């Protein structure tokens, strides 16, 4: 419970702060942020990936009328509860603003009911959150048909190059694989920024929120996942590695990491849901630069770093991915949109005599399975065209593939 005076002071202070924010690198997502009458605009994404800055850019670009901005992830608002929303209503009435911009509102239990109420009252809502589960959880039940959701990720390669004032070439892409895309880190290149971010997520967002006492095991699992990025994992094998008694505990931890956007797990492609569930899944980590705060060994494996970056680029473009594994042939990405397989992609650092048979045959297996006449191999810097078995394979350097 908080006092009305304090709430009003926080709103005034925060609005002044966001109005004076450095707008920074214009995010590509800004062009897609449009208000739809009767719908809340939800911007979801990991902590520190730039959501608040994007809000500043949105306000500067699109709002020419009064608004109320409130970031609930503030030490002064830690005691804010569902019962305090009527106080917020009083402050809103005094401001006479129809635009409501709520940052990290998911911290408050019951927020979705309040958001629905404000929509019913004709307010225009923009909301950010750092929890991926909201996209299919609270939003799906309380705001069904009343929200437009956009996801923000760390800088894309295009945004990285604009931020660093670099040409989009192989040299710049190598730096992108090394440094990643978190804006605050790119400004300072201070490893402590990555470390602090991970501690915030693991300790505060996950351990405290979900009452997990064994933080040591939680961190140990995260280190393992980062070290094995782009590889297959299973809860049963992780249980043995972690020396945890229950597979359910491992599944719970994995879910928390996914909800916080730290990782995403990718299933084997199959038309059978059961087959997808029983097979191991591939793990991808949100940002290559952030991984260096956890493990140095992964940074030496450029092939896996490249595959990880390709996954998140495809994710940024709004695709759904599976991996392909049939009859001994493996392909990294089966890329779908709206349940339709659009393309198949293989990723490797380079194509050479030792791996050409394995990589091409794996891609061909997926192309034949889906009856595709063309496929793509993404490498660090090779460009070529291969014709085999009557099918075309484009070998594309990553810096040309990334938007």
As a whole number of angstroms, the distance between CA 358 and CA 364 comes to 10
DSSP state of 268: B
Beta strand segments in 147-216, E: 147-152
Flag whether pLDDT at 114 surpasses 90: yes
- Return mean pLDDT, the chain: 93
Flag whether pLDDT at 171 surpasses 60: yes
Query: 384 near 393, Cβ under 8 Å?
Result: no
Lowest model confidence (mean pLDDT) among 43-52, 144-153, 271-280, 375-384: 144-153
As a whole number of angstroms, the distance between CA 56 and CA 346 comes to 38
What are 318's two structure tokens? 């709004």
Residues 6+ apart with CB under 8 A from 298: 226, 227, 229, 291, 292, 304, 305
- The pLDDT value given to residue 141: 62
Q: Which residue carries 């990285």 as its tokens?
A: 160
Query: 157 near 313, Cβ under 8 Å?
Result: yes
The 10 Å Cβ neighbour count of residue 271 is: 6
As a whole number of angstroms, the distance between CA 123 and CA 113 comes to 14
How deeply is 168 buried, as exposed, middle or buried, from its count of CB atoms within 10 A (0-12, 13-18, 19+)?
A: middle
- The pLDDT value given to residue 106: 85
Tell how strand 384-388 and strand 391-397 pair up. antiparallel
As a whole number of angstroms, the distance between CA 199 and CA 383 comes to 41
DSSP state of 152: E
Please spell the DSSP secondary structure of 207-257, one letter per residue: IITTT---HHHHHHHHHHHHHTTTSEE-HHHHHHHHT-S-HHHHHHHHHHH
- The pLDDT value given to residue 135: 58
- The pLDDT value given to residue 301: 86
As a whole number of angstroms, the distance between CA 320 and CA 335 comes to 6
pLDDT in tens, 75-87: 999 999 999 999 9
Flag whether pLDDT at 271 surpasses 60: yes
The confidence band for 295, taking pLDDT boundaries of 50, 70 and 90, is confident
The 10 Å Cβ neighbour count of residue 365 is: 19
Query: 123 near 283, Cβ under 8 Å?
Result: no
Phi/psi of residue 192, nearest 5 degrees: -65, -25
pTM beyond 0.85: the answer is: yes
Flag whether pLDDT at 142 surpasses 80: no
CA atoms within a 13 Å half-sphere pointing along the CA-CB vector of 87: 17
Query: 157 near 402, Cβ under 8 Å?
Result: yes
pLDDT in tens, 314-338: 999 999 999 999 999 999 999 999 9
pLDDT in tens, 228-243: 999 999 999 999 888 8
Beta bridge partners of 331: 324
Flag whether pLDDT at 299 surpasses 70: no
Percent of the chain predicted with pLDDT > 90: 82
The confidence band for 139, taking pLDDT boundaries of 50, 70 and 90, is low
What are 396's two structure tokens? 């594309």
What's the whole-number mean pLDDT along residues 284-293? 93
- The pLDDT value given to residue 244: 84
The confidence band for 245, taking pLDDT boundaries of 50, 70 and 90, is confident
DSSP state of 348: -
As a whole number of angstroms, the distance between CA 68 and CA 212 comes to 35
- Domains, in order of start, for the chain: 4-152 (3.40.50.300), 157-401 (no CATH)
Sheet holding 99-103, edge to edge: 67-71, 99-103, 124-129, 40-45, 147-152
């Amino acid at each position: 419970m908080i006092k009305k005076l304090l709430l009003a002071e926080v709103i005034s202070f925060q609005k002044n702060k966001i109005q004076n924010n450095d707008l920074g690198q214009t995010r590509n997502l800004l062009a897609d942020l449009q208000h739809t009458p009767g719908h809340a605009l939800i911007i979801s994404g990991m902590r520190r990936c730039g959501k608040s800055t994007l809000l500043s850019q949105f306000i500067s670009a699109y709002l020419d009328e009064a608004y109320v901005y409130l970031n609930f992830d503030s030490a002064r608002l830690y005691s804010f509860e569902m019962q305090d929303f009527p106080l917020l209503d009083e402050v809103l009435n005094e401001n006479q603003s129809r635009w409501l911009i709520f940052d990290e509102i998911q911290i408050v239990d019951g927020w979705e009911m309040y958001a629905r109420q404000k929509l019913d009252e004709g307010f225009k809502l923009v909301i950010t959150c750092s929890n991926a589960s909201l996209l299919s959880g609270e939003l799906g039940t309380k705001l069904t048909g009343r929200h437009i959701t956009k996801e923000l990720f760390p800088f894309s390669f295009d945004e990285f190059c604009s931020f660093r004032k670099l040409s989009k070439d192989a040299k710049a892409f190598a730096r992108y694989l090394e440094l990643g895309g978190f804006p605050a880190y790119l400004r300072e290149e201070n490893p402590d920024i990555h470390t602090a971010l991970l501690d915030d997520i693991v300790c505060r967002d996950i351990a405290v929120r979900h009452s997990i006492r064994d933080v040591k095991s939680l961190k140990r699992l995260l280190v393992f996942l980062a070290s094995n990025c782009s590889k297959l994992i299973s809860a049963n094998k992780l249980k043995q590695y972690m020396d945890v008694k229950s597979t359910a505990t491992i599944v719970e931890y994995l879910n928390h990491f996914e909800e916080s956007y730290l990782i995403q797990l990718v299933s084997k492609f199959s038309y059978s849901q059961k087959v997808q569930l029983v097979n191991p899944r591939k793990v991808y980590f949100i940002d290559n630069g952030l991984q260096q705060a956890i493990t140095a060994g992964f940074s030496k494996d450029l092939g896996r770093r490249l595959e990880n970056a390709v996954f998140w680029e495809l994710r940024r473009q709004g695709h759904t991915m599976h991996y392909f594994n049939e009859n001994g042939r493996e392909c990294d990405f089966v890329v779908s949109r709206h349940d339709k397989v659009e393309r198949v992609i293989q990723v490797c650092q380079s194509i050479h005599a030792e791996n050409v048979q394995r990589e091409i045959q794996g891609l061909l297996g997926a192309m034949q399975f889906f009856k595709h006449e063309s496929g793509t191999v993404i490498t660090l810097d090779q460009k070529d065209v291969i014709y085999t078995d009557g099918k075309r394979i484009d070998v594309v350097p990553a810096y040309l593939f990334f938007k």
